[in-house]
Structure 1
Amino acid sequence: MRRLGVDLEVDVKMERYSQFLVLAMVCLIVPWVAVAYAAPISGTKDGSEQWGYVDVRPGAHMFWWLYRSTSKASNTTAIPVLMWLQGGPGGSGVGVGDFREIGPLNEHLQPRKYSWVEIADLLFVENPVGTGFSYVNDPSLLPTNNSQVSSDLLQFLVEFVKLRPDLSKRPLFIFSESYGGKFASELGVMVHKAVAAGSLDLNFGGVALGDAWISPLDSMYSWGPFLYTNSRLDANGVVEVKQAVDKTAEFMRNGKFENATYQWEKVEDLVLTLSNQVDFYNILEADEAGTESSISSATSMSMLMKRSRTFRDSFGYFDAVKAVEAVNGTQTLPLSELMNTVIREKLQIIPTSVRWQSSSDEVFTALTGDFMKDTIHQVDKLLHHGVKVAVYSGQLDLICSTPGTEAWVQKLKWTGLEGFNKQVRTPLYCNSNSTGGFVKKYKNLSFYWVLKAGHYLPIDSPCVAQQMASLIMS
């Protein structure tokens, strides 16, 4: 099953001696941060990173990780805080968003060029509870609808500001990817109301919806025509896909939302068959993203142990960069193994019962009945209240395609929509004379079209993506 905003990984089964080496590596390394599980905040000695758990409900523990910005801005109080919400639902922001997309280091523990830490403090939140390093004491505590997820996130922010009151006056922007857009849109409304009521001390900057699953049906109805114009479907295929989407819409009209989700899966399978396995996240990729290969050689494991040790023993990502650059070789741990060994040991607060996965089946299943519902009305509320809303979309994304995004934007009841439509797009450039994208702005709504990028926009077009994020927060 595919998830929105995160590729499902197959856990790697390592050879016996590899398992032994990993176990030895974990046991022999002395933890570099002495932290008790009850500590509200843990982190590096230089303060460049902090992390911890917030109990958003009794038995529901939400994990967060904050990176201090490397920005050279003279006025540090103006540096924004960027809260990142991954898709899925159940995709790990700490694993995927941080190490694969915008964090200071990539999944090979190498410094990332155009990391968003250069323009903002980065706050990754494992959301909903049950995702990544977040966990619940009992499966019955998993949220089953978008409002419950957003309420948990609001409670997280209330408690987080208590832990870091110094951040409350700096502008906080909620950035989201894919299904995370549904969370961000409703959370944004809740945050606005809480700030207005005085129950949340926060300088709310706005919401950014990236390749967002705001209106599932609009996205799905765009698949056939979009693939037709890109030669991945013929006219007969377009008709066949539309008929399958019509069945999804019928389930929605009859209030059979779980059936609609199951039909969504069938439509995806049909598209894959008719298009000869088009990549839903980037239509120009040759195939769907493959699973990560297993590392089984003793040489590779030896190198990884050295790299892991230097990262874990470092005081922060600045020192880690220097240490990792000194290690030769290109093979690295698969992300699932990296998170469950190197990163777990660095953090020192993850319960032994919690195993990191890129995407949680349990979280997705709990939200099956809510998956196909749209949140266009929440975006309308944000715009009506004057909250800054940015929508951005990758040209090559299929699952949350640009045509589908444009379709739901045109359904907004916001009074400024007519004025927005009349605006002329402005081209975007980044270290090149070639066009990197376009932007259209009117009042508190902006729309960014990013070229040569798919669903994982920061990966495919990192320079333009960073520039876009900076413009959104300016």
Structure 2
Amino acid sequence: MENQYSLLYLSLLLSFSLLHEHIAYAAGTNDGSEHWGYVEVRPKAHMFWWLYRSPCRVEDPSKPWPTILWLQGGPGGSGVGFGNFLEIGPLDAKLNPRNSTWLRKADLLFVDNPVATGFSFVEDKTLVVKTDEEAAEDLTTLLKKLFNRNETLQKSPLYIFAESYGGKFAVTLGVSALKAIEAGTLRLQLGGVTLGDSWISPEEFVFSWGPLLKDLSRIDSNTLKISNSLAHKIRRQIAKGNYKKATASYGLLQNIISNNSNNVDFYNFLLDSKNDPVTGNRGSKGKDVMGKYSEYLSTKKYSPSGNEQDLPRLMNGPIRKKLKIIPKNVTWRLQSMLVFQAMRGDFMRPRIKEVDHLLAKGVNVTIYNGQVDLLCSTKGVEAWLKKLKWGGLKKFMSLDRIPLYCSGDNTTTKGFFRSYKNLYFYWILGAGHFVPVDQPCVSLEMVGNITRSPN
């Protein structure tokens, strides 16, 4: 088996060597289990990517081993840092192996998207994207330059997974990538698009916040009235295409709710914001199968508590040292305000039509949502779902849900599942905005089902 892996790793490295004329910088580990680099997606706009090859890979011609592309939210949040080290990557923020890493089911491709996020950078600030479509164009360029000359990647179906605002990137990328595939300019198997607690239709979410919190006794009737009034204002602004004004109103609504709920956590409405579920990393040491990823990182001078506030030290310290190719003038940050400010005009724009387009084209679309998420509440998701024009929606809505369990425990309900044709929905109980963190077991089983992983 080790010889088989060595040959596969060599094949991967040889395939990537063909890409060097298109990539500004590229590097990787000696055994080929990791590869990373920059793609110049536009002149002077550089996107950073990091590919992990799973040690759990199973070679089954009837079930090709999948690759997951992870898209973080924000916009301006770093997938290479946040999604990787705090959620699904091989190591947690303390650099311990994570037993629940999604590498158990697929290879993982993280990107810092859009450009100017995380380790990605622009040489001119005017090159920062302003819309989801522009971000999708850059991501499609990245995929072309990674996949088109790499037969190993072409044989691996790509599943686009997204979280939060990343869902808007995912559906616009799905539409853009599908168009390129149909035109023959992108050689890639699109396995599906998965939307985790995704900001697909902001209008539905802002309308859900007040009623949810009132029912939970977190706000009173006076605050509910103000919340509903602002939500109606946001609806009118969105209808008129005044997205920047809607973004400003969204910020005002968040502040009002925070001030009148004693700082409820928008990522978990059962908590205060200071007790955010990702604060204090929940990654476990796990089994030796993931231990090999830690040998490349020196931890002697790095002793984090494991929460998100330590990520900048981790990313600008041991990780930067490991990667070697990050320009000296690029500093990793949790959130790129440059990106967020540039995208204010698109932040509140809905992307329901893109979901409809993907469903109509036969692309598998999966939605999963945490039960106690407020920001992208399940109530809001179910509201925008009803706006789909997809022909199978009525049948989908009429079906009973199937209860989900985990690890052979059939006494504790972990969630519910429903599907019809190419639409799938997972309701994950006991989870907030960061589902893989709050419910790692059922999340991992879900990922295996979505990607049809042979493992």
Q: Compute the TM-score of the two structures, normalised by the length of structure 2.
A: 0.87
The answer as to whether partners of 2:278 and 2:434 remain within 8 angstroms in 1 is no
Query: 1:233-382 maps to which residues of 2 (within 5 A)?
Result: 233-289=219-275, 318=292, 320=294, 331=305, 334-382=310-358
What SS does structure 2 have at the residue aligned with 1:368?
coil
Q: Residues 91-124 of structure 1: CA distance to partner in whole angstroms, max 9, x if unpaired?
A: 0000000000000000100011211011000000
What SS does structure 2 have at the residue aligned with 1:211?
strand
Q: Determine if the alignment matches structure 1 residue 469 to structure 2 residue 452.
A: no
User: Cα 1:317–1:345, aligned 2, differ >3 Å: closer, same or farther?
Assistant: farther
Query: 1:98-137 maps to which residues of 2 (within 5 A)?
Result: 98-137=84-123
* Paired position in structure 1 for 2:432: 454
- Displacement of 1:236 in angstroms is 2.9
Unaligned runs of 5+ in 2: 1-19, 280-289
User: Cα 1:159–1:450, aligned 2, differ >3 Å: closer, same or farther?
Assistant: same
Q: Residues 34-89 of structure 1: CA distance to partner in whole angstroms, max 9, x if unpaired?
A: x9x97643100011110000111111100000000122524277110000000000
What SS does structure 1 have at the residue aligned with 2:345?
helix
* Paired position in structure 2 for 1:44: 29
Q: Compute the TM-score of the two structures, normalised by the length of structure 1.
A: 0.84
Counterpart Cα distance in 1 of 2:112 and 2:303? 31
Counterpart Cα distance in 1 of 2:147 and 2:234? 41
The answer as to whether partners of 1:428 and 1:439 remain within 8 angstroms in 2 is yes
Q: Residues 403-445 of structure 1: CA distance to partner in whole angstroms, max 9, x if unpaired?
A: 0000000100000001101111111111233011111000000
* Paired position in structure 2 for 1:80: 66
Query: 1:200-239 maps to which residues of 2 (within 5 A)?
Result: 200-239=186-225
Query: 1:178-193 maps to which residues of 2 (within 5 A)?
Result: 178-193=164-179
Counterpart Cα distance in 2 of 1:238 and 1:277? 15
* Paired position in structure 2 for 1:383: 359
Counterpart Cα distance in 2 of 1:371 and 1:329? 37
The answer as to whether partners of 1:70 and 1:119 remain within 8 angstroms in 2 is no
Counterpart Cα distance in 2 of 1:140 and 1:327? 37
- Displacement of 1:162 in angstroms is 3.6
Counterpart Cα distance in 2 of 1:60 and 1:84? 20
* Paired position in structure 2 for 1:62: 47
Counterpart Cα distance in 2 of 1:149 and 1:68? 25
Match of 1:439 among 403, 417, 420: 417
The answer as to whether partners of 1:215 and 1:374 remain within 8 angstroms in 2 is yes
- Displacement of 1:288 in angstroms is 3.4
Counterpart Cα distance in 2 of 1:292 and 1:428? 24
The answer as to whether partners of 2:97 and 2:293 remain within 8 angstroms in 1 is no
The answer as to whether partners of 1:111 and 1:321 remain within 8 angstroms in 2 is no
Counterpart Cα distance in 2 of 1:206 and 1:73? 20
User: Cα 1:228–1:197, aligned 2, differ >3 Å: closer, same or farther?
Assistant: same
User: Cα 1:371–1:38, aligned 2, differ >3 Å: closer, same or farther?
Assistant: closer
Q: Residues 193-251 of structure 1: CA distance to partner in whole angstroms, max 9, x if unpaired?
A: 21122111111101000100000010110001111222212333222210111222222
* Paired position in structure 2 for 1:430: 406
What SS does structure 2 have at the residue aligned with 1:430?
coil
Larger displacement relative to structure 2 (194-203 or 393-402): 194-203
User: Cα 1:39–1:151, aligned 2, differ >3 Å: closer, same or farther?
Assistant: closer
User: Cα 1:323–1:203, aligned 2, differ >3 Å: closer, same or farther?
Assistant: closer
Once the two structures are aligned, what percentage of the paired residues are identical?
47
The answer as to whether partners of 1:185 and 1:207 remain within 8 angstroms in 2 is yes
What SS does structure 1 have at the residue aligned with 2:206?
helix
Counterpart Cα distance in 1 of 2:310 and 2:302? 17
Counterpart Cα distance in 2 of 1:324 and 1:452? 35
What SS does structure 1 have at the residue aligned with 2:179?
helix
The answer as to whether partners of 1:59 and 1:137 remain within 8 angstroms in 2 is yes
Counterpart Cα distance in 2 of 1:377 and 1:95? 30
Aligned residue identity for 1:177 = E
Aligned residue identity for 2:31 = D
Larger displacement relative to structure 2 (123-132 or 38-47): 38-47
- Displacement of 1:276 in angstroms is 1.3
Q: Determine if the alignment matches structure 1 residue 157 to structure 2 residue 143.
A: yes
Counterpart Cα distance in 2 of 1:459 and 1:135? 28
- Displacement of 1:286 in angstroms is 3.2
Larger displacement relative to structure 2 (316-325 or 280-289): 316-325
User: Cα 1:342–1:325, aligned 2, differ >3 Å: closer, same or farther?
Assistant: closer
RMSD between aligned alpha carbons?
2.5
- Displacement of 1:370 in angstroms is 0.6
- Displacement of 1:260 in angstroms is 0.9
User: Cα 1:258–1:153, aligned 2, differ >3 Å: closer, same or farther?
Assistant: same
